[in-house]
Amino acid sequence: MNQPFQTAYETSGELTTVRHRVLRNTYWLLALSMVPTVLGAWIGVQMKFSFMSGSPFIGFLIFMAIAFGFFYVIERTKNSAIGVAVLLAFTFFMGLMLSRLIGHILNFSNGASLIMTAFGGTAIVFATMASIATTSKRDFSGLSSWLFAGMIVILLAAVANIFLQMSVLSIVISAIAVVIFSAFILFDVQRIINGGETNYISATLSIYLNIYNVFTNLLALLGIFGGERD
């Protein structure tokens, strides 16, 4: 008579174990992904890496093509060790792309301090959002359509600003991006906890992109408002 209840309990326990394992593996791979990101950024700064700086729009299109190429390959290989290698190669590429902003910030006399502040702020955002996603009983899945719409608005505004070159619009874009991608961390972590994402490589990619965007936009804002010249 108790067999159905016992089976249901065991199934529930197994699902919880799987979800916790996915989350744990995601966090480990996320931490590992920061190594090639930092390495790529360091190499980029040393080499004064500049990705199509003379043609920002063409550079943007090429960047998007390369990024989506990585997304496609990661999706195809996410169930094997090759997927981890491709993901780490992608994070190295993103580090290279980050190097131009890092180099710009380092031109300020307090550049290193701004970078550490942005890093600390991003860590606090991640810890806060991940904690809320883990402990809150509220379902944040309803944010999906709003977050997607916000991301599209940010993307379109960023493309428009390639031509407009408006500093005020840059500030607005960065401020909104910090909020949107912070909320994405909350959404994506809870999606793992609720079983909506069962592959830790895909989960790592999503959360990595959220953290990357929070950091870069927060650093851009700190550079605008807190950068000091000698």
Q: How far apart are CA 114 and CA 192, in angstroms?
A: 32
Buried b (16+ CB within 10 A) or exposed e, 140-152: beebeeebeebbe
CA atoms within 13 A on the CB side of 63: 17
Q: Give percent above pLDDT 70 in the chain.
A: 92
Name the more confident of 5 and 221.
221
Across residues 24-38, what is the average pLDDT? 97
Please state which of the ranges 104-108, 134-138, 169-173 shows the lowest mean pLDDT. Answer: 134-138
Across residues 105-117, what is the average pLDDT? 95
Residue in 184, 175, 183, 182 with CA at minimum distance from that of residue 218: 175
Across residues 115-130, what is the average pLDDT? 97
81-106 and 111-135 helices cross at what angle (nearest 10)?
140
Q: How far apart are CA 11 and CA 27, in angstroms?
A: 24
Q: What is the pLDDT of residue 10?
A: 45
Residues 6+ apart with CB under 8 A from 138: none
| This model's pTM is above 0.85 | yes
Q: What is the pLDDT of residue 17?
A: 81
Name the more confident of 11 and 175.
175
Q: What is the pLDDT of residue 3?
A: 53
Structure confidence by residue, pLDDT tens digits, 207-228: 999 999 999 999 999 999 998 8
Across residues 120-133, what is the average pLDDT? 96
> Does 5 score more than 50 pLDDT?
no
Please state which of the ranges 105-109, 114-118, 134-138 shows the lowest mean pLDDT. Answer: 134-138
Q: How far apart are CA 216 and CA 121, in angstroms?
A: 11
Q: How far apart are CA 218 and CA 115, in angstroms?
A: 9
> Does 2 score more than 60 pLDDT?
no
The dihedral over CA atoms of 96, 120, 142, 180, expressed in degrees to the nearest 10, equals -60
Q: What is the pLDDT of residue 112?
A: 95
- How many CB atoms are closer than 10 A to CB 86? 22
Q: What is the pLDDT of residue 48?
A: 86
Across residues 178-203, what is the average pLDDT? 94
Amino acid at 181: F
Q: Give percent above pLDDT 90 in the chain.
A: 78
Q: How far apart are CA 122 and CA 117, in angstroms?
A: 8
